[in-house]
Chain A
Amino acid sequence: KAGVTQTPRYLIKTRGQQVTLSCSPISGHRSVSWYQQTPGQGLQFLFEYFSETQRNKGNFPGRFSGRQFSNSRSEMNVSTLELGDSALYLCASSPGPLQGMNTEAFFGQGTRLTVV
């Protein structure tokens, strides 16, 4: 069974640009959540999608958005990039809603975004 796939693995963007990251969950998983990992702030929750609906959102500005498609694949978009958006973006999938034991999420290898 294939794991969680994130594309691209590496990305370099210029301030002010926008970027779209993609996440394909494990087959059969319907929940996808996103996390930002930086040396200064650690791992922070961005949002969770389940059945194409955003179910929860972390404390990030509106420049961060996402969506989920009917096949459970998810995309995350960051507009008007800032230097501080440089981070590792991790996607995780779980079979059901991200609650309780389903918080045993399976992570992808991440997308390393560098903003210059």
Chain B
Amino acid sequence: AQTVTQSQPEMSVQEAETVTLSCTYDTSESDYYLFWYKQPPSRQMILVIRQEAYKQQNATENRFSVNFQKAAKSFSLKISDSQLGDAAMYFCASSGSARQLTFGSGTQLTVLP
């Protein structure tokens, strides 16, 4: 079984600044995938970024990047040049051989103008 832990229920950042959201996970599998999803007030889950565990290189998508520390089982999300539209609940998730996503409890991000 996989577990995902997000220890920051809430975070805030000033517009244009950088913020890092933390996530740790636990799995006994060697082949797995990690994801960050964003859920704005519209409630629709939107994939932000994904990381294949076998890849050493950290994934990057425009202003979003991850710091994947496999040995430490850590998968943090960095948002650069924060924008008001980045305000949302962010979920870290993992998947492995089981045909499902396992989610963390989420981090509510507030962007201050």
What's the dominant secondary structure at chain B's contact region? loop
A residues in contact (CB < 8 Å) with B: 33, 35, 42-43, 45, 48, 55-56, 58, 88, 90, 92, 97-101, 103-110, 112
Q: CB-defined interface of B8-49 with A at 8 Å, one 1/0 digit per residue?
A: 000000000000000000000001010101000011111100
A-B residue pairs, 6 tightest by C-beta: A103-B95, A107-B45, A43-B103, A45-B100, A56-B99, A98-B99
Question: How many chain B residues touch A (Cβ–Cβ < 8 Å)?
Answer: 24
Which of chain A's residues has its CB closest to B42's CB? A109
Which of chain A's residues has its CB closest to B6's CB? A42
Beta-carbon contact of B105 and A56 below 8 Å? no
- In Å, the complex CA distance between A14 and B98 comes to 34
Of the residues A42, A58, A98, A108, contact of B106 by C-beta under 8 Å: A42
B residues in contact (CB < 8 Å) with A: 31, 33, 35, 37, 42-47, 50, 52, 91, 95, 97-106
Beta-carbon contact of B33 and A103 below 8 Å? yes
Beta-carbon contact of B95 and A45 below 8 Å? no
Which of chain B's residues has its CB closest to A42's CB? B105
Beta-carbon contact of A103 and B35 below 8 Å? yes
- In Å, the complex CA distance between A104 and B48 comes to 10
